[in-house]
């Protein structure tokens, strides 16, 4: 096993002594404990599971009807992707592409990269590093949750003017957001290095 490890909290490098069962290594500076190597794999597994769930739910979330709007007896069912296509067709390029990027492309990329990082161990770690960096950057811009907030605002604001009904995609959407959040929270970049060393 590797002997020297940086504390994940303060970054101080320690030499890890041989540990008996039911013992743990603790940082001398900040007092945080070093995770035993096995537990990292559990975290990675959890990340992978959540990422898989988010990936599976992502498709119904964007393809199934998300809103049913009835305005002056006109009934319209639209999915997220359908709405974006409608926006682009109408010529609202800016709004359409912003929504497309931030609520479809970036979240999907983030989920896919999380999946890759947590599942595909065959990747070389230099690739993993690149992937991690991309994921960290893209993750900032993946704004599915903001989209959900927009729906909520619409429901509250337009409730009296327009008749609303949320479609089945909303359930998928909410769960997808939750799952991708769980995945990114439980994702521990240290696993990448641990397994390959």
Binding residues for other proteins (CB under 8 A): 1-4, 6, 11, 13, 15, 41-46, 48-50, 52-54, 56-57, 59-60, 63-65, 72-76, 118-122, 124-126, 129, 167-169, 171-172, 175, 179, 182, 186, 192-193, 195-197
| Pairing between β-strand 13-15 and β-strand 65-71 as defined by DSSP bridges | unpaired
Is residue 129 within 8 Å of 196, Cβ to Cβ?
no
Closest contact distance (angstroms) between CB of 171 and other proteins is: 6
CA 151: distance to chain centroid? 19
Question: In terms of CB distance, is 65 or 138 closer to other proteins?
Answer: 65
Is residue 57 within 8 Å of 174, Cβ to Cβ?
no
Question: In terms of CB distance, is 184 or 186 closer to other proteins?
Answer: 186
Question: In terms of CB distance, is 94 or 122 closer to other proteins?
Answer: 122
Question: In terms of CB distance, is 3 or 22 closer to other proteins?
Answer: 3
Question: In terms of CB distance, is 48 or 143 closer to other proteins?
Answer: 48
First CA to last CA distance, the chain: 9
Per DSSP, helices labelled H in 2-143 are 37-63, 80-89, 93-100, 106-119, 125-141
Closest contact distance (angstroms) between CB of 51 and other proteins is: 9
Closest contact distance (angstroms) between CB of 94 and other proteins is: 25
Closest contact distance (angstroms) between CB of 42 and other proteins is: 5
Q: How far apart are CA 113 and CA 53, in angstroms?
A: 14
- φ, ψ for residue 167 (rounded to 5)? -90, 180
Closest contact distance (angstroms) between CB of 98 and other proteins is: 26
């Amino acid at each position: 096993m590797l002997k020297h490890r940086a504390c994940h909290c303060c970054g101080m490098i320690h030499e890890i002594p041989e540990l008996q069962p039911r013992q743990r290594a603790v940082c001398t500076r900040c007092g945080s404990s070093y995770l035993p190597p096995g537990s990292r794999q559990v975290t990675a597994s959890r990340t992978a599971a959540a990422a898989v769930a988010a990936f599976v739910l992502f498709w119904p979330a964007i393809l199934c009807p998300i809103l049913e709007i009835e305005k002056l007896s006109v009934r319209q069912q639209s999915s997220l992707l359908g709405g974006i296509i409608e926006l682009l067709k109408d010529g609202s390029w800016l709004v359409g592409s912003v929504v497309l990027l931030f609520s479809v492309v970036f979240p999907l990329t983030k989920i896919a990269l999380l999946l890759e990082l947590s599942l595909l161990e065959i990747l070389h770690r230099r690739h993993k590093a690149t992937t991690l960096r991309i994921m960290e950057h893209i993750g900032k811009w993946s704004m599915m949750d903001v989209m959900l907030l927009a729906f909520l605002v619409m429901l509250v604001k337009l409730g009296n003017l327009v008749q609303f009904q949320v479609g089945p995609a909303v359930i998928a959407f909410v769960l997808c957001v939750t799952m991708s959040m769980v995945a990114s929270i439980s994702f521990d970049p240290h696993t990448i290095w641990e397994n390959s060393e």
